[in-house]
Structure 1
């Protein structure tokens, strides 16, 4: 597995070794020892989540507050998404900045998003099967988010706004300037 740090400290792009032959392929998607060594710290994942969505579905930008903050290791099993992480760590030199990466079943890249980040994605293919590990359990009372259209963040979602399918809950999220951490 290879690793590359993004412009946001602690956010990493991981690329597994893929072994392909006429039968198909094999890859090790997660190994606790390898992962910990690559990112330089131990993370204990406690919850796995999966979503299936159609083209244009935008989920995010979400985060958990306080003792319920979550680090995530995300990947796409089938399809293609644009995955986005926004730094919401107030003491960080990159506070308010974001990074985006295309994840797909074909490129098999993974994205590690540490605690202190808002996270979201939009489906670019007809459908996508999205999988992620979390290092803390979800807590409804601690959820927060940022509206995906925030002009200060200026995220390019790669699809026209009119083509996006967004939940009612995500449509009323506050701007970055007005989030409550």
Structure 2
């Protein structure tokens, strides 16, 4: 499995070997040994999530209070989507920047984002499935979001899709509003937590 750190610290893409044949395709999107070799610690999985989305659905940008935060390891077992990671950590050298990775059911590429990073995606096909391995369970009091349509972020949503959002995501604050309200995680705190995980 190939592991590559992305341009935002704490975000990685994992590319497993994929074995297509006349029956379909086989791949192992998460491999614990490869994860440990790349990041220096084991992924704790406290909860798995599964979403099915119509074409054009945008979910996010979501993040959690840190600590403990919620790291995510995500892949697309069916369909195709554009996965977007946003650096919402105040004080980070890449604050407000994003990276995007296309995930699909043929390549079985996966993305890992560490605690404190924002996460969103758009479904590019009907019935797109996203699978999440989460380091902590759902904590409604510690879950937050920023608007995926915030023009200051300039996220790369395809222009040929009419975005479909939940009311919660549509009404979420901009990055600047979330920063001014003190909702965003601290880069320093996230880095310390990340280094503690690495031992």
TM superposition score category, shorter chain reference = over 0.9
Which residue of structure 2 lines up, in the alignment, with residue 170 of structure 1? 169
Partner deviation per Cα, 1:117-144 (whole Å, 9 max, x = no partner): 1101111112201101011111000111
Paired with 1:173 and 1:68, the residues of 2 have a C-alpha distance of 22
Q: CA deviation at 1:72?
A: 0.5
Partner deviation per Cα, 1:1-28 (whole Å, 9 max, x = no partner): 0011111112111100123344433222
Aligned residue pair count: 180
Paired with 1:106 and 1:23, the residues of 2 have a C-alpha distance of 13
Matches within 5 A, 1:6-45: 6-45=6-45
Paired with 2:146 and 2:80, the residues of 1 have a C-alpha distance of 23
The unaligned stretches of length 5 or more in structure 2 are 185-199
The unaligned stretches of length 5 or more in structure 1 are none
Judged with a 3 Å threshold, the aligned counterparts in structure 2 of structure 1 residues 80 and 23 are, in CA distance, closer, same or farther, namely closer
Paired with 1:102 and 1:29, the residues of 2 have a C-alpha distance of 14
Paired with 2:7 and 2:169, the residues of 1 have a C-alpha distance of 26
Which residue of structure 1 lines up, in the alignment, with residue 51 of structure 2? 51
Question: Secondary structure of the residue that 2:33 maps to in structure 1?
Answer: helix
Partner deviation per Cα, 1:68-94 (whole Å, 9 max, x = no partner): 411100100111111111111223211
Are the equivalent residues in 1 in contact too, given 2:29–2:75 (CA < 8 A)?
Answer: no
Deviates more, 1:38-47 or 1:20-29: 20-29
Q: CA deviation at 1:160?
A: 4.5
Question: Secondary structure of the residue that 1:165 maps to in structure 2?
Answer: coil
Q: TM-score, normalised by structure 1?
A: 0.93
What is the RMSD computed on CA atoms of the aligned residues? 1.5
Are the equivalent residues in 2 in contact too, given 1:68–1:139 (CA < 8 A)?
Answer: no
